[in-house]
Structure 1
């Protein structure tokens, strides 16, 4: 072979592989991009559903309060001329109680039909007060009065979310407010005024911040004009309330997205600036239209830069793997081309051999056949037989027609009874023809040959069977091939049995096992042979349905999707019902065309010890070696989870930090062994005294932390005092009593890990500075 030709082939190979690599990388990039965008779409949809649900729930609570107020009997009789002053006081006290209980209404007012305030309650920083009659004002020309007084009874008007204005000045500190109003009617159904609730919207803004805190992008709350009410860029919030400040908003910076929001109200849009997910909500609960001045818009924006960064993070390892794979592919193909050139001469010999085999195959298919007519008598005498009987069996036709030989004389005695039974059965079934089972005949040289015949039944006028007309074909060659196939199958079985790992060959259409090795039989069953129609899931999982789901994926389903080998981890059961973790590696088997999947071959590797070791290592990583409770790393993880869970469910918890007083003296005076026993005894006591739901961890040295879910502050104080007393009463060997100082606090809505730990640490510090052996709750 010439070197120049080989170089040209190699250069062409490099170009092809590089082109293939580029196309493959582009496909992987597109798939990764689709996956990342779909993940972000799903995350955004889940978050926006949660945000709108929480906002709706908050507004429904306001609706409930408002409808309750307008149905008060004293209020509906307030327009009667002789209404007693006591009825007014009852209304005032009732509304003060409601304001104090709800803690979300800055003002509760009743305006009469002329817009004059008749009753007004100011929240006054948590101390509701009744406004004196002389300070009541006329709101006759305020938009919220004119809008609400003309609404139907029982309906609710809501104002846009904006900043509260007092005496034509924006109130400081800023007080975001929504005004909810509904008309009040007397007993005759006549409108006598309206009730106005000034809702402190900071409640929903805080909830909005808390729920969206972990979002990948930006969570933004807009008004109906597209200006920001709440966004990561807080300097731009409420800009529309200050005419002198720059007027920025989604309607200015992202006009195409704003048009989609106005048109669709809810949906998703992706463009060159990133992914936008939006939804709209009407505080009054009414349907949303294009002229809804009080509607709120929730917008989630994932910038294009963030999407690209996530895509390339996922592609980092793929690029390395693809480069290594293409390099290996190039080397393998180069070696294959070299071997191909060397084997050209051998290929010519193989072609000649294939042609010879093909000729023999055609000769076999067109082989000789014998036609004979037999009487239905003892021995089946032959009335006629074709002349080619001599070529096949070496007998002259005269030997049969003269009666010297009957057909039974040439049938192997081992098959005579079965031959006769098939004739009797055909007569009973009244068939006209049938295909007989293969049997052996004896030729003139006493050699045995395999034949198979098609037999036609001949009957007389009375329906009695008189003759058989048989067409006999020599299938000796087929039987030899069948024996070879059986031998090959047995050889394959022996090869598979030699594999140490349990190995299965599975039909993808019905999950039935086509082949299993002894290792699989011994592991999963007590049988010596595979039962008929046994399925893979019945053998290894002891179940009646195929594997499915995230934790038990079906390898067949995965291969049908990808047409590639897969590896999954399953939980199997051995022949004694013991659970074992198995690494299942499945490889596809295609038909001759290489396109259609027909079977898969699975190998099972027992990784139970590895799984158990991972669990042990995880236990070691998160457990304090001395006390066998959570260490600081695991505590940080649990605290983070508890804060996240509290943000979603509004179920707050308490955090306790305790420190053994003067513990250094115990180690200095009695040694670290004694100090270790004191720590263990203290931990045993704490375990007995705290609840099962509480989480105990060693913070460091002689400091411990306790997370107490779903507890009130009074119960938290009682629990801390109980623990302090119990620790003080222990008499440690050689040491005696050892006291402890405690600091504790309840999680607040605005807390994060840092702020909560700082407050608990400050509480512990106060306990120590106040003389130790005491508890402080902040």
Structure 2
């Protein structure tokens, strides 16, 4: 080997970023240090003069892994390559995590003369890994569902809470996109707003209606945030959510109770007045037709007096069911009070309103209660006139109902115009 080559090897040894130490091969003497580069001295805190002639057992301490040391000794004894990781101790007593390998060195005749070890302090790497593991465990332990996706929205992590809420296992969702949870309850504008917010580097917060593995829907308050690297480039997205299905159900139940009649399940008068008022404003604004029916069960007081309130309640529920099943799905049926009902028919002229009212009347007449027997219905109909108020429309329908009642009941009367007498078009039957 030339002098220049020796100089190169020496420079490489002394200037190496990795810590390098060379020991002899004397097992009985404990493999004493002969050379160590500056990186090794800096890592251990020992000067070369303090290390030379000593064994590296001086770096071991209470937390040094005995199993790793046993493996090390076996490799040295058999002159085999060794690689391992354990905890060593610096001169000042501070511990560090070292990953190192040892290779046997032989002379030209193959005789073992030395061991050379290349070492690296990986304490920061281990600490970061432990912190990441702790973070992952913390995210997994939180009761709120957490989802992490890459920049292409592919799922890389979900916690146990998320799996519990959705019914999917971690393996079933990893690599897929959150689109798999879409329920169809949100329109394209909702998702455009989501993408625009994230593309601008902003959080997106909303209540999502998502679909579980079993097909059921759940409500989730969700916050989605972009995660950026040191250069500000988005690398991931993190979503933290809260299952609010129970709260939404309670709110919907309260809303239903506030807007529906408890006995019949129909809309109550308060809701009906609000709905009718809005419908009339819309009809006037857009030039739409609107027809109102006011219905009253004939001789209902006699039903209560003769058969009792339980029978009366049953009749009310049965008539409510007939009304609801006879009209269109978009029509609003209201229990106005007592035995009186309102049916709001939007986009409905007088003629089809009359046909529908007659259908209702006939179906009620055909119904037979086990105790009460036949029940009949009287109806008043009024079609909205230009500039007519809600109060005026109801008054005309009420006037028509009064005419039907006094005209013999079980009939439909139609209000023509304000000030004109209602026209009775149906005669009582049976």
TM range (shorter): 0.5 to 0.7
Report SS of the residue matched to 2:379. Answer: strand
1:47 alignment partner in structure 2: none
Correspondence for 1:198: none
Query: Which of 370, 386, 394 pairs up with 2:10?
Result: 386
**In structure 2, C-alpha distance between the alignment counterparts of 1:573 and 1:719, rounded to whole Å:** 39
Which of 236, 241, 244 is the matching residue for 1:607?
Answer: 244
Structure 2 CA distance for partners of 1:713 and 1:576, relative to 1, 3 Å: closer
Aligned with residue 747 of structure 1, among 377, 381, 384: 384
| CA spacing shift, 1:744–1:549, aligned 2, 3 Å | same
CA offset at residue 512 of structure 1? 4.9
Q: Structure 2 vs 1, CA of residues 498 and 554 (structure 1 numbering), >3 Å: closer, same or farther? A: farther
**Aligned residue in 2 for 1:775:** 412
2:293 is paired with a residue of what secondary structure? strand
**Separation in 1, partners of 2:284, 2:312:** 39
The 5-angstrom pairing of residues 627-638 of structure 1 reads 627-638=264-275
**Displacement of 1:707:** 2.4
Aligned residues of 1:581 and 1:607 also touching (Cα < 8 A): yes
**Aligned residue runs from structure 1 range 199-348, under 5 A:** none
| Secondary structure class of the residue paired with 1:751 | coil
Select 1:653's aligned residue among 270, 275, 290: 290
Give structure 1 stretches of 5+ with no counterpart.
1-370, 374-381, 400-408, 416-437, 451-475
Deviations 1:460-480 (A, max 9, x none): xxxxxxxxxxxxxxxx13x44
Residue in structure 1 matching 2:161, options 505, 519, 522:
519
The structural deviation recorded for 1:569 is 1.3
Q: Computing the radius of gyration over CA atoms, which structure comes out larger, 1 or 2?
A: 1
Rounded Cα–Cα distance in structure 2 between residues aligned with 1:548 and 1:686: 33
- Paired position in structure 1 for 2:103: 442
Work out whether residues 100 and 117 of structure 2, in 8 Å CA contact, stay in contact via their aligned partners in 1: no
Q: Contact 1:639 / 1:753 at 8 angstroms: preserved in 2?
A: yes
String of CA shifts for 1:186-240, please: whole Å, max 9, x gaps. Answer: xxxxxxxxxxxxxxxxxxxxxxxxxxxxxxxxxxxxxxxxxxxxxxxxxxxxxxx
Match of 1:558 among 173, 197, 206: 197
Please list the CA deviations of residues 426-445 of structure 1 after superposition, one character each: whole Å capped at 9, or x if unmatched: xxxxxxxxxxxx99443888
Distance 1:580 1:392, change over 3 A: same
Closer/same/farther in 2, CA of residues 554 and 773 from structure 1, 3 Å limit:
closer
Partner of 1:572: 210
Partners of 2:364 and 2:141 lie apart in 1 by: 65
User: Which residue number corresponds to residue 486 of structure 1?
Assistant: 129
Q: Identify the range of structure 1 (688-697 vs 699-708) with the bigger mean alpha-carbon deviation.
A: 688-697
Matching residue within 218, 221, 224 for 1:583: 221
| Alpha-carbon distance between aligned partners in 2 of 1:691 and 1:542, rounded to the nearest angstrom | 27
Q: 1:525 to 1:773 in 2, by over 3 A?
A: closer
Shift of 1:730: 4.5
Distance in 2, Cα, partners of 1:386 & 1:410: 24
Aligned pair in 2 of structure 1 residues 548, 769: CA closer, same or farther (>3 Å)?
closer
The correspondence of residues 336-415 of structure 1 with structure 2, limited to 5 A, is 385-386=9-10, 389=13, 392-394=20-22, 412=81
Report the TM-score when normalising by structure 1.
Answer: 0.37
The answer to whether residue 260 in structure 2 is matched with residue 618 in structure 1 is no
Larger relative contact order (Cα-Cα within 8 Å, sequence gap ≥ 6)? 2
Q: Is the 8 A contact 2:20 2:116 kept in 1?
A: no
Q: 2:183–2:217: 8 Å Cα contact kept in structure 1?
A: no
Q: Does structure 2 retain, via aligned residues, the 8 Å contact 1:524–1:540?
A: no
Q: Secondary structure of 1:449's partner?
A: strand
Matches within 5 A, 1:686-701: 686-701=323-338
The offset of 1:697, in angstroms, is 1.9
1:657 Cα deviation from its structure 2 partner: 0.7
Q: Distance in 2 between matches of 1:608 and 1:620?
A: 18
How many Å apart are 1:701 and its aligned residue? 0.3
CA contact (8 A) 2:148 2:155 kept: yes
1:542 to 1:657, Cα distance in 2 relative to 1, 3 A = closer
- 1:669, distance to aligned residue in structure 2 (A): 2.9
Assess, with a 3 A threshold, how the Cα gap between structure 1 residues 383 and 681 changes in structure 2: closer, same or farther. same
Q: Where does residue 703 of structure 1 map in the other structure?
A: 340
Of 178, 200, 207, the residue aligned with 1:537 is 178
Shift of 1:723: 3.8
Partner Cα separation in structure 1 for residue 322 and residue 411 of structure 2:
18
**Deviations, residues 165-188 of structure 1 (Å, cap 9, x unaligned):** xxxxxxxxxxxxxxxxxxxxxxxx
CA distance in 1, matches of 2:355, 2:11: 113
**Aligned partners of 1:442 and 1:586: how far apart in 2?**
51
Structure-1 residue corresponding to 2:305: 668
Q: Could you tell me how far apart the structure 1 residues matched to 2:180 and 2:365 are?
A: 60
Instruction: Select the residue among 353, 357, 367 that pairs with 1:720.
Output: 357
Query: Residues 550 and 633 (structure 1 numbering): CA distance in 2 closer, same or farther, change over 3 Å?
Result: farther
* Unmatched 5+ stretches in structure 2: 25-33, 35-77, 85-98, 106-113, 416-430
Q: Is the 8 A contact 1:741 1:767 kept in 2?
A: yes
Tell me the equivalent position of 2:396: 759
1:661 touches 1:740 (CA, 8 Å); kept in 2? yes
User: SS at the partner of 2:263?
Assistant: coil
Aligned pairs, how many? 334
Decide whether the 8 Å contact of 1:389 with 1:395 is kept in 2. no
Tell me: CA distance 1:584–1:383, structure 2 relative to 1, closer, same or farther (3 Å). same
Residue in 1 aligned with 2:147? 504
Pick aligned residue for 2:316 from 679, 694, 708: 679
1:717-755 Cα distance to aligned partner (Å, 9 max, x none): 444345445544555444444443321111223223222
Q: Using the alignment, how far apart are the partners of 2:246 and 2:301 within structure 1? A: 42
Q: Displacement, 1:761?
A: 1.3
Q: As a proportion of its length, which structure holds more helix?
A: 1
Separation of aligned partners in 1, 2:81 and 2:179:
44
